[in-house]
Chain A
Amino acid sequence: MTDAFISLQSIRKTYGPVVAVDNVDLDIAKGSFFSLLGPSGCGKTTLLTMLGGLDKPTAGRIMLDGVDVTSVPSYRRPTNMVFQSYAIFPHLSVGDNVGYGLRRQKLDRAEWQHRVDAMLELVHLKGYGDRQPSQLSGGQMQRVALARALIVQPKVLLLDEPLSALDKRLRQSMQIELRAIQREVGITFVFVTHDQEEALTLSDKIAVMSKGKVLQCCPPTDLYDLPINREVAEFVGEMNLIPGIVKGCTTETVCISMPSFGDQQFPVGGRSFSKGDKVLVAVRPENFEIADGPEGRELTIVNRAYFGTHLHFMMTGEGLETPLTVSVPSAIARAHGKAVNSDRMTIQVVPETAVILPQAG
């Protein structure tokens, strides 16, 4: 994978005793929307500023479009950043902010104005050029920051949680716009967020980070359906983890004995197990079925909540450390009216949708 557009090789960054980024290897494809997802303090910003040349890695190499840019300063890198704080220059008008990076191109006034206007139009701020930054709303500031970074036509746009300061509705509409703009300009976007939903909807590929390390890097669907370990499973979406022990294994299926659900066969899915392994059967809330078959188990409903399209249940039972979260589509819940409204309900795991994870880590 050395032909990747951006390649981070064994990148490490320490601040005294603090390891902010710990031996990260990442490849990012050209023209893709790539997200760095992780909890606060996991090193996302540090990784992004190293990509932009604003911080130097303690060790490792950064390749961009076939060039080693590790020690190229930010003002000579073909990357631009949208800061978490936006960093709109308060002493310049909106137009001068957007055109800030054009000075080195020595354009004449008309050409400069033309470029700035075109960029303002792209971010739906036509006619805002003469305003002062203090007159802008949060969403508008964010667009100015985006326009200012895009106008110099970088090879890579780095975005540090640009939507986190916006309210939910504005955030959703900006997400759609951001994705549309990315398609329009065709520039590689590296997007930092701690909001997993945002990462799942926007990205072509997501790297999940924790404590300076990249845990998993894959397309959003894989991340949701096939998390590689407990941490990723719990961070992305809601996940029930049911403890169990491997009883036997063939090339196709693995038999797991769960105190709560009894013995059940699961597809191996390319992993290897040996008898006696302690595992976790990871099941999304929507991947349970209401059933009365032999695989089903009767559990106690401790709580139910109605979410319009879905009905959520908290259920406990023998052999379960924490209550299970079960989500049933409203239509199906209506069909099982009696079971749903009683104190106990029989449910079963759909084996094809479950992921078997090692119990440790």
Chain B
Amino acid sequence: MRKVRLFYAMIYFIVLYLPIVLIIAFSFNDSVYIAFPLKEFTLRWYQAAMENQQLLSAFSNSMIIAVTTAIFSTFSGLLAAMATTRYRFRGRSTATILLFVPLALPTVVTGVALLSIFMMTGLGLSLGTVILGHLMICTPFSYGVLVSRFEGLSPDFERASMDLGEPPLTTFFRVTLPLALPGLVSSLLLTFTISFDEFILAFFLSSNSPTLPVFMWSQMRFPDRLPLVLALASVVIIVSSILIVISQRLRSKQA
């Protein structure tokens, strides 16, 4: 039985990580063809990526979108988490459920819906519209991370601060914020990663200022640029993994 379980786990991880390993391997392969056997080791795809102006502008678009999304979704997640854990009000449980509903919708549906709203209202498409779309899917994650942080924190700390003469606002800055800090950092990293990697909403809402994933997708039409895309993908994979690991570490450490 033990062996079977071990075997199953091995298969699981191989299926999960083999494609990723292959992507990284081929990104260093000195050939435009994605085929074995591997040729010489090269960094030329990485160099080509660094010199591609379209790619660099897509990268900066993605950074702007991801940073803004991370900050705003964490901020609204913080407010929502404080509201639902620190105050009792009518409709509290309904609000909690409604916060998670956007996650249940297929992103394509959300994308189409947002696209039609933006076109209908004449708002047009821009980086801002992608940010709005990403806020919709990132805020629930921020909320989830922060709510678990707040639920583990006794409200007595804030009550003690108020009792010692600090009004609600200074109590927030002197007690609530520092205590919620690991959760905030974790939420920032997580939402940054989600926004940075997101494709479907960005594809619908970005028009002529593509994000990195949208740019990568557009390059797939040109077979000779495939290794360049692989190089880019490798960078994204590694950076995202680091951010996720840090974020998870912070979440588990806080308990």
Contacts and interface: CB of A to CB of B under 8 A. Distances in A.
Contacts of A54: 159, 162-163
B191 to A, nearest CB: 24
Contacts of B167: 73, 75
Interface stretch (A99-107, A182-190, A287-295): A99-107
B30 interface: no
The number of chain A residues touching the other chain, given as a range, is: 20 to 34
Interface residues of B, number: 18
A101 B164 contact: yes
Classify the interface of chain A: helix, strand, loop or mixed.
mixed
Contacts of B163: 52-54, 74-75, 79-81, 149
Interface in A20-78: 52-54, 73-76
A54 B164 CA distance: 11
Contact of A85 (B154, B161, B164, B170): B154
Contacts of A104: 165-166
Contacts of B164: 75, 80, 100-101, 148-149, 152
A67 B170 CA distance: 26
A224 interface: no
A87 interface: yes
Contacts of A83: 156, 159-160
A90 B175 CA distance: 9
A149 B161 CA distance: 10
B153 to A, nearest CB: 9
Interface string B147-189: 0000000101101111111110011001100110000000000
Contact of B159 (A74, A91, A103, A148): A74
Contacts of B179: 89-91
Contacts of B161: 89, 100
B160 A91 contact: no
Q: Which of B156, B170, B179 has the most CB of A within 10 A?
A: B156
Q: Which of A53, A100, A152 has the most CB of B within 10 A?
A: A100
A75 B156 contact: no
Contacts of A91: 178-179
A87 B160 contact: yes
B166 A103 contact: yes
Contacts of B156: 83, 85, 87
A53 B160 CA distance: 11
23 contacts: A53-B163, A54-B159, A54-B162, A73-B167, A75-B163, A76-B165, A81-B160, A83-B159, A85-B154, A85-B156, A87-B159, A89-B175, A89-B179, A90-B179, A91-B179, A100-B164, A100-B174, A101-B165, A104-B165, A104-B166, A148-B160, A152-B164, A152-B165
Given A75-B171, A100-B161, A101-B165, 12 more contacts: A54-B159, A54-B163, A74-B162, A75-B165, A79-B163, A80-B164, A83-B159, A83-B160, A91-B178, A101-B166, A103-B170, A148-B164
